[in-house]
Chain A
Amino acid sequence: MERPGYYGRFGGAFIPEILSATLEQLQVAFSGAKKDPDFWSTYQRLMSTYSCRPTPLTYAENLSRHLGGPQIYLKREDLNHTGAHKLNNVIGQGLIVGRMGKSRVIAETGAGQHGVATATMAAKFGYSCTIYMGEVDVARQRPNVFWMEQLGARVVPVKDGARILKDAINEALRDWSANMDTTHYVLGTACGPHPFPEMVSYFQSIVGMEVRDQILQQAGRSPSRVYACVGGGSNALGIFNGFFDNSEVELVGVEAGGEGLQSDKHATRLASGRGSVGVAQGYKTYFLQDDDGQMLETHSVAAGLDYIGVSPILSAYHEEGRIRFEAATDAEVLEATRLVMKKEGIIPALESAHALAGAFREAGEMSRDDVIIVNLSGRGDKDIFTIADALGDAAWKSFIVTKAEEYRA
């Protein structure tokens, strides 16, 4: 039998002893919640009245026709409150915080989506909130910092390490190891020490439960393939959870190919074969690291995918061959973003556009009878600075210059 918290040879809880009791407490609270028949219905009710669950499944008719391949359906996680699947996890953990009687939450954030979701949850539930964010990410995601602060959170720029997502996780772990009596660490993805991978994918499984029924109703059949982008892996696990038991459905995770796998400027842990098994940030999985075990710098146009590790649950499915992993480059992602905006009137987050790019690339090899689902995990309009930057829009740049001059005056 597998040890608790292990998925194949991945997972575990590699944490300083000081946190052992706290993780035990979390494990007990989470197990209790899962056994409580009212818990899931409370969660679902909250998600349907505070966020937009169930989120729709949209048939992308124009795109399907344009690409000439399969019928493409989009699972609209972008229509969640705060604009991404992140809220599914955060609200769930918010309820667990209440059960543990804690009053403060902390979180790491890369792109800022998980930070905004956590700050939102903290405001709604009345918790005090501190968000750790790499200094580099603070600089490139200022609008999200603005919203977190407006929502009442304290945003702490992390100035150590590479000053990105992984460093924000380290800093959150350090805060937690000092303040666990009052504080819960709302980890944003299905990574970290047990029970986080299990707990985060449990809350995200709401996506898969919905979409499994929706596709049967709308397309009359199960999909041939399901695509999701993979940073830490929570949105992928969420939607894939609806199909693991159906071996006819091929599951495809799309990682950040950055400037290409030969460039070393990417965050492709599984699809590249460049990742190797290691232990950091409390868990065992594939990491991008050197021969000594020092973590490498990663790159992606999408800050939310710019991460050294990947969910241990996904590493296990990777080794079993249940999920196929691919990578999409920054350039492919921008092209996919443009196409979806023009053809469907939907603005995807750059993270989610990786899943789209992966699907579009393979559309030609599928037939009109095939049905595929792409998890549109987040919306892009709130990342206007990032997307405008990535698209290099000249009119936007001159607007920013004018605006800056106004502020300077």
Chain B
Amino acid sequence: MLEDYIRKRLREKDILLMAHIVVGYPSIEDSFELVRTIVEAGVDLIELQIPFSEPIADGPVILQANQAAIADSIRVDDCFKFAQKVTSAFDIPFLFMTYYNILFKRGEERFFAEAREAGIRGTIVPDLPPEEGESYMAAAAANNIDPIFILAPTSSPERINHLARFGRGFFYCVARKGVTGLDTDFSDEMTEFLNQCKRATQLPLALGFGVSSKEDVQFLRGKAEVAVVGSQALRILNAQGIQAVGDFFRGLK
């Protein structure tokens, strides 16, 4: 499971990197090249976002990539085929990230059974709190896939303790209010939030939303186990192309 993988990997380095791509953006072929480049740059985990037309937790950069992929006729079936291809080709864990409607419409049991077939190890569904996720968690467990839940700095200590009970694999901690891809203040407040999460769970913590530089990753050393980089890599992809994304990830360590 993902927790074991993360622990094992942490024996060799003090913080892991999780990258994020939108499947089919800018094209399905480019997505594959992007994954290859990111893996070769030494990234430890990758989120594959299945595009959705109403991505409410995403800021402009990822939102536009979602729209472009859908406009380019990327179907959910294509994302499963893509997952199969990258999990066979590369030896790091891949997770699906998407919104709940994509799972709901396919049927949760079918979604997870196919995800398992495709070699997917975890799922991140930002609009699905555990209160609404009973059948989701059951389908995930039946297929040995970790449903990753999200902890937020707006949640009370009681709420964080409550959420901690549902955790599998690791927790995704959002660094701040707002959506993906905006500036984040790496401050004492964040340290306190991460400490709060640590008190609530034994699982590893991944921190995302606004991680964009070597300094940010440095700040997280000793506070979180995984740094999640999404929008900044996508911005670099848009401006400078796939090879530059590889350089960017190499430069984060």
- Tell me whether A17 and B155 are in contact in the complex, defined as CB-CB below 8 angstroms, given that A179-B177, A289-B105 are known contacts: yes
Cα(A300)–Cα(B44), bound, Å: 48
Across-interface contacts of A178 in B (CB, < 8 A) = 177-179, 182
Q: Among B59, B127, B155, B177, which residue has the most Cβ atoms of chain A within 10 A?
A: B127
A281 to B52, CA, bound (A): 12
A262 CA to B150 CA, complexed, in Å? 42
Near A by CB (< 8 A), chain B positions 146-182 give 149-152, 154-156, 159, 163, 174, 177-179, 182
Interface size on B, residues (CB 8 A): 41
Report if B235 contacts A (CB, 8 A): no
Query: Taking the complex as formed, is B92 at the interface, i.e. its CB lies under 8 A from any CB of chain A?
Result: no
A20 B159 Cβ-Cβ under 8 A: yes
A295 and B127 contact, Cβ closer than 8 Å, known pairs A14-B100, A178-B178, A180-B177: no
- Known contacts: A174-B179, A177-B178, A180-B154. The answer to whether A15 contacts B127 by CB under 8 A is yes
Known: A161-B67, A170-B54, A295-B54. A13 touches B132 (CB 8 A): yes
Task: Tell me the complex Cα distance, A293–B99, Å.
Answer: 10
| Residue in B57, B64, B151, B174 whose Cβ sees the most chain A Cβ within 10 Å | B57
Contacts of A280 in B (CB 8 A): 54, 99, 101
- Chain A 276-287, CB-CB to B under 8 Å as 1, else 0, gives 111111101000
Partner of B127, one of A179, A282, A294: A282
User: Does B54 contact A281, Cβ atoms closer than 8 Å?
Assistant: yes
A22 at the interface (CB under 8 A from B): yes
B134-156 CB mask vs A (1 if < 8 Å, else 0) is 00000000000000011110111
**Residues of B close to A289: CB separation below 8 A:** 101, 105
Q: Residues 68-107 of chain B: 1 if any A CB is under 8 Å from the residue's CB, otherwise 0?
A: 0010000110000000000000000000000111101110
Q: Confirm or deny: A345 has a beta carbon within 8 angstroms of a beta carbon on chain B.
A: no
- The A51-86 residues at the B interface (CB cut-off 8 A) are none
Give the residues in chain A near B174, CB-CB below 8 Å. 16-18
Interface residues in A13-60 (C-beta closer than 8 Å to B): 13-22
Measured in the bound complex, the distance between the Cα atoms of B55 and A206 in whole Å is: 35
Considering the chains assembled together, what is the distance between the CA atoms of A284 and B133 in angstroms? 13
Q: How far is the CB of B153 from chain A (nearest CB, A)?
A: 8
Determine if B1 is an interface residue (Cβ-Cβ < 8 Å).
no
In Å, the complex CA distance between A294 and B182 comes to: 26
Q: Flag if A279 contacts B67 (CB, 8 Å).
A: no
A12 at the interface (CB under 8 A from B): yes
Chain A hits for B70, CB < 8 A: 294
Residue numbers in B under 8 Å from A20 (CB-CB): 129, 152, 154-155, 159
Contact: B129 with A13, CB < 8 Å? yes
Task: Give Cα A20–Cα B60 distance, bound, in whole angstroms.
Answer: 22
Contacts of B55 in A (CB 8 A): 170
Also in contact, A293 and B154, with CB within 8 A (given A14-B128, A178-B177): no
Is B126 in contact with chain A by the CB < 8 A criterion?
yes
Whether A166 lies near B152 (C-beta < 8 A) is: no
Cβ–Cβ < 8 Å partners of B56 in chain A: 15-16, 170, 173-174, 177, 281-282
User: Does B37 sit within 8 A of A, measured CB to CB?
Assistant: no
CB distance from B242 to the nearest CB of A (A): 24
Enumerate chain A residues within 8 angstroms of B213, measured Cβ to Cβ.
Answer: none
Using CB atoms, name the residue of chain B closest to A287: B101
**Complex CA–CA separation, A12 to B100 (angstroms):** 13
Q: How far is the CB of B64 from chain A (nearest CB, A)?
A: 7
**CB atoms of A17 and B178 under 8 A apart:** no
What are the residues of chain B within 8 A of A21 when measuring CB–CB?
Answer: 154-156, 159
Q: Are B57 and A16 within 8 A (Cβ)? A: yes
Q: In the complex, what residues of A have CB within 8 A of residue B102's CB?
A: 292-293
Which residue of the partner chain, among A22, A160, A277, contacts B67 with CB atoms under 8 Å? Answer: A160
Whether a CB of chain B sits under 8 angstroms from the CB of A320 is no
- Return the CB mask of B27-71 against A: 1 if under 8 Å, else 0: 000000000000000000000000011111101100110010010
Question: Which of B54, B63, B75, B177 is close to A18, meaning CB atoms less than 8 Å apart?
Answer: B177
Q: Tell me whether A18 and B104 are in contact in the complex, defined as CB-CB below 8 angstroms, given that A160-B64, A178-B178, A293-B52 are known contacts.
A: no
In Å, the complex CA distance between A276 and B105 comes to 9
A2 at the A/B interface (Cβ < 8 Å)? Answer: no
Residues of B within 8 A of A15 (CB): 56, 127, 129
Residue of A17, A166, A295 touching B151 (CB-CB under 8 A): A17
| 0/1 interface trace, chain B 99-130, chain A, CB 8 Å (1 if under) | 11110111000000000000000000011110
| B131 touches A (CB below 8 Å) | yes
Which residue among A13, A180, A279, A293 has the maximum number of chain B CB atoms within 10 Å of its CB?
A293
Given known A21-B154, A293-B104, contact A161–B53 (CB-CB < 8 A)? yes
Contacts of A284 in B (CB 8 A): 104
Contacts of B75 in A (CB 8 A): 292
A17 with B101: CB separation less than 8 A: no
Whole-angstrom distance between the Cβ of B196 and the nearest chain A Cβ: 14
Complex CA distance for A284 and B99, rounded to whole angstroms: 13
Question: Would you call A369 an interface residue if the criterion is a C-beta within 8 Å of the partner chain's C-beta atoms?
Answer: no
The CA of A161 and the CA of B101, in the complex, are separated in Å by 17
CB A349 to nearest CB in B, in angstroms, measures 27
Provide the residues of chain B in CB contact with A245, threshold 8 Å. Answer: none
A291 contacts B by Cβ under 8 Å: yes
Give the contacts of B176-197 with A (CB-CB under 8 A). 177-179, 182
With contacts A21-B154, A22-B154, A282-B127 taken as known, whether A292 is within 8 angstroms of B178 at the C-beta atoms is no
Task: Write the nearest CB–CB distance from A136 to chain B, whole angstroms.
Answer: 15
Distance between B39 CB and nearest chain A CB, rounded to angstroms: 27
| Distance of B150 from chain A, by nearest CB (Å) | 4
Chosen A-B contacts, 15 in total, with CB atoms closer than 8 Å, are A15-B56, A16-B56, A16-B57, A16-B150, A17-B150, A18-B174, A19-B154, A161-B67, A170-B54, A278-B104, A278-B105, A279-B127, A280-B101, A293-B104, A293-B106
Q: Which 9 pairs show the lowest CB-CB distances between chains A and B?
A: A293-B105, A178-B178, A293-B101, A17-B152, A18-B152, A294-B53, A17-B150, A16-B57, A295-B53
